[in-house]
A = this chain, B = another copy of it.
Amino acid sequence: MARSGKERFNDVQNQRPSARFKLTRVGVTGVKKPISIKRPGKTVVLTATIDMYVDLPATQKGSHMSRNVEVLDEAVDRSFSRPVRSLEDLAKGLAAELLRRHDYASRAEVHIAADYFLDKKAPSGRKTTEVYRLTAAAKGARDGKSANVKKSIGVEVVGMTACPCAMEGVREHMKGTHPEHAKSLSKLPTITHNQRNVAMLRLDVPDGLDIEADTLIEIVEGALSTPTREILKRKDEAALVYAAHANPKFVEDVVRDILGQVLARYPRLPDDVEITVRSESEESIHKHSAFAERVTTIGELRA
């Protein structure tokens, strides 16, 4: 399905389709590329997976899909001589360029996702390298001769939640089986189930506002019972596990605390910024997961 439309052959894409419906999104999915990107104080190379679409009018049979990958390849090549500022800036540039090259399209959409590494600290201050997931998206609409493109940024963080409800239940249970220790049990954080939690925060990035992925990761890690760390020597492990139990959280709490922190850290975010926050716990006591989500705007959150 090359379909460049610029060559001498009979151009199948430009033919009239049999069933005349317009299409919402037509494009390529699952394209993998290395991207060179500027981060505070350094340049990093990410392995990104990209989806790129435009809409298609009812009068045209096919989209010229090879143009999508051409647009991407040119941007990738440029990134190695001049690293992009962020994945969302890359997405925005790609969406604008899609509208330029697909003159029949009125909208364009780009999604990018990549693993991303940051140096973090264990409780003792020891350095550990942690993996996160970055996502970026851009949606463009043709507006006369130019294009109106909105971009968004997202982070996905694996951390730990300890269940507050089971902690109360276990406390009662242990008071019953060990009444002689009831006083200590009442005073101390105690046993509960804890597990991997995958928490996600995604929001629009208005022009002129600086929203750093590293800050969003910090917000999400701060809303979990504790972050996870790849290297934990014994004292670090004890400190981190204790800290999680001193800060038990439902998936609901994780979502709400992220929402609260976003409002606090970004007071200048316009009301029409769309935001999605999600927390999913891979429950250690069940074979299924527990899930909470809020999809809303900054304006609604402030109301």
The interface of chain A, by Cβ under 8 A from chain B, is 1-4, 6-7, 9-10, 12-13, 17-34, 44-47, 51, 53, 56, 61-63, 65-66, 69-70, 73, 76, 114-115, 117, 128-131, 158, 160, 163-166, 168-170, 172-174, 177-178, 181, 183-185, 187-196, 228-242, 244-245, 250-253, 255-257, 259-260, 280-296, 301
Given contacts A165-B62, A173-B242, A250-B1, contact A190 B190 (CB under 8 A): yes
Kindly list chain B residues whose C-beta atoms are within 8 Å of the C-beta of A184: 181, 183-185
Given contacts A166-B2, A242-B174, A242-B191, contact A285 B160 (CB under 8 A): yes
A25, B231: Cα distance in complex, Å: 20
Kindly list chain B residues whose C-beta atoms are within 8 Å of the C-beta of A285: 1-2, 160, 228-229, 232, 237, 240-241
Verify B293–A24 contact, CB threshold 8 A: yes
Q: Which of B13, B33, B293 contacts A26 (CB 8 A)?
A: B293
Verify A230–B31 contact, CB threshold 8 A: yes
Kindly list chain B residues whose C-beta atoms are within 8 Å of the C-beta of A27: 290-291
A225, B170: Cα distance in complex, Å: 16
Verify A19–B257 contact, CB threshold 8 A: yes
Verify A165–B252 contact, CB threshold 8 A: no
A22, B76: Cα distance in complex, Å: 41
Q: Chain B CB within 10 Å — which of A10, A62, A236, A301 has the most? A: A62
A218, B190: Cα distance in complex, Å: 30
Verify A33–B129 contact, CB threshold 8 A: yes
Verify B291–A165 contact, CB threshold 8 A: no
Give A290's nearest chain B residue, CB to CB: B1
A170, B238: Cα distance in complex, Å: 5
Verify B61–A286 contact, CB threshold 8 A: no
Verify A252–B28 contact, CB threshold 8 A: no
Verify A193–B290 contact, CB threshold 8 A: no
Ordered by A's residue number, 11 sampled pairs between the chains whose C-beta atoms are within 8 Å are A2-B236, A17-B256, A23-B256, A31-B288, A32-B287, A33-B117, A56-B252, A62-B165, A170-B241, A191-B242, A193-B244
A161, B173: Cα distance in complex, Å: 20
Q: Which of B28, B177, B196, B252 contacts A291 (CB 8 A)?
A: B28
Q: Which of B33, B241, B252 contacts A192 (CB 8 A)?
A: B241
Kindly list chain B residues whose C-beta atoms are within 8 Å of the C-beta of A196: 195-196, 282-284, 287
